[in-house]
Structure 1
Amino acid sequence: TVNECRREFDYVFTTGGIGPTHDDITADSIAKAFETELYLHPEVEALIRQRRAPEEVMVARLRMARIPLGGVLIENPTGGPPGFQIENVFVMAGVPAVMQAMASSLDGHRLPGGRPVRSRSVGAYLGESQVAAQLTDIQDRYSDIDLGSYPFYRKDGYGTNLVMRGVDEKRLEQMLAEVKQMIVDQGGKPIVE
């Protein structure tokens, strides 16, 4: 699966399976996919050995220092063992907060960003069914922008929030203007928060 994904996609992210237990097999699986061996990374081994523990605990912990040959460490800002990257595959911890910290540590050279995705939103006290056909028409004209509708209920009644996401600021503003006009045409009042 990893080999299929790494050929088809620019980046592949895996989370979990790099801990100290027998069922933490992600490093083994990635090494197998890349037809390489695992080794104890000296920097990670030193980090783990700094925390004294009985030998059987240390043996388990040292599993977290196993990195495939050719892998590059992904910093773990929380202080635990790092993840690793090999080619376009990024292997990080499974604990969400730790994974997020690791992902945040990736620099622009290893994970260059694209154009920022911008968003605009507008609400109205109109039901989704009242605007469904018009939203389809607008979305068809702006295929480069995602348009989502999200129903809400407030003390004033039911309505719909319309959220637009895209990278072209000018097109986003044009779409927003059309969506606002559509709301007015349907007898609603645009709510911009």
Structure 2
Amino acid sequence: MPPKPVTAALLVIGDEILSGRTKDKNIGFAADFLTERGIDLREVRVVPDVIDEIVAALNTLRHRYSYVFTTGGIGPTHDDVTADAIGVAFGVPVAEDPRAIELLLQRIKREDLNAARRRMARVPAGAELVENSVSTAPGFRIGNVIVMAGVPVIMQAMLTAVAPSLETGPRTLAVSIAAGNIPEGAYAAALGTIAEHNPALSIGSYPSVVDGKFNNEIVVRGKDAEGVAAAVAAIEEVIAELRATGRDKYTIT
């Protein structure tokens, strides 16, 4: 029996993401980072800085996946409500953590540690701290939920810090097949049949426009190397046949 997959969701928190003011850079990094370690990122949600919204999303995701990673909302301002939302979701109080205060004091003078900055030391009862090698203000982990900053460089440092403690599974293999300017409609039926015969694999076709010309790429993903190789061979045979018969170009009728 194959090992049980290790799965994850990413919960992106912040009005600035939903408004478009801030362009998220964390999703792509987290997806690559987790995939390389055999953790399958299955879902991403974006919610505003509203406690009820965060709680609802978190309680759904944390019961569905092995891990939930959150980004955003753990800074010093009034709209940084992630810690409070996590406390509500887990039914535990949120309070200043002396360990977090000591970390803040590595960068902030005690006389400058005002009420706003102290908010960054508030964590739910029972949480473990997540190291922040960039600015010392920690994230935290409670249950299967890992709470991280939204600033990309800090988020990346926190994810790297917590990685050694995460359960991992077999890595997903990904192989790309260049279909060039062969129209998707020419190979869609064959691709669907190959996918049907390989339910354990993820097979997708991804069109793009390069220098004003259509360009298609087919990607096969899976954890079984033999299965991936067999599907790739079948797809390459389809593509070769289309090229051999001249059905490899977009035409306008």
Q: TM-score range by the shorter chain?
A: 0.7 to 0.9
Match of 2:204 in 1: 148
Structure 1 unaligned regions, length at least 5: none
Which 10-residue stretch deviates more, 118-127 or 151-160? 151-160
Match of 2:53 in 1: none
Structure 1 residues 123 and 25, CA, compared in 2 at 3 Å: closer, same or farther?
same
Superposition CA RMSD, Å: 2.2
Show CA shifts across 1:8-50 (max 9, x none): 3221222111110111111111112222122222222012223
Stretches of 4+ aligned residues off by more than 3 angstroms: 152-159
Percent identity of equivalent pairs: 38
The alignment's TM-score, normalised by the length of structure 1, stands at 0.87
- Is 1:132 the counterpart of 2:188? The answer is yes
Looking at structure 1, the residues matched to 93 and 209 of structure 2 have their Cα atoms a distance apart, in angstroms, of 56
Contact 2:76 2:117 in 1 (8 A): yes
- Is 1:172 the counterpart of 2:232? The answer is no
Looking at structure 2, the residues matched to 121 and 133 of structure 1 have their Cα atoms a distance apart, in angstroms, of 19
- Is 1:118 the counterpart of 2:158? The answer is no
Match of 1:8 in 2: 64
Structure 1 residues 120 and 10, CA, compared in 2 at 3 Å: closer, same or farther?
same
Looking at structure 2, the residues matched to 4 and 121 of structure 1 have their Cα atoms a distance apart, in angstroms, of 33
The alignment's TM-score, normalised by the length of structure 2, stands at 0.68
Match of 1:92 in 2: 148
- Is 1:18 the counterpart of 2:74? The answer is yes
Structure 2 unaligned regions, length at least 5: 1-55, 247-253
Match of 1:44 in 2: 100
Looking at structure 2, the residues matched to 115 and 177 of structure 1 have their Cα atoms a distance apart, in angstroms, of 22
Per-residue deviation, 1:157 = 5.2
How many residues are paired up? 187
Contact 1:128 1:160 in 2 (8 A): yes
Looking at structure 2, the residues matched to 152 and 119 of structure 1 have their Cα atoms a distance apart, in angstroms, of 19
- Where 1:187 maps in the other structure, the secondary structure is helix
Show CA shifts across 1:132-165 (max 9, x none): 1111111111111111112244569543211111
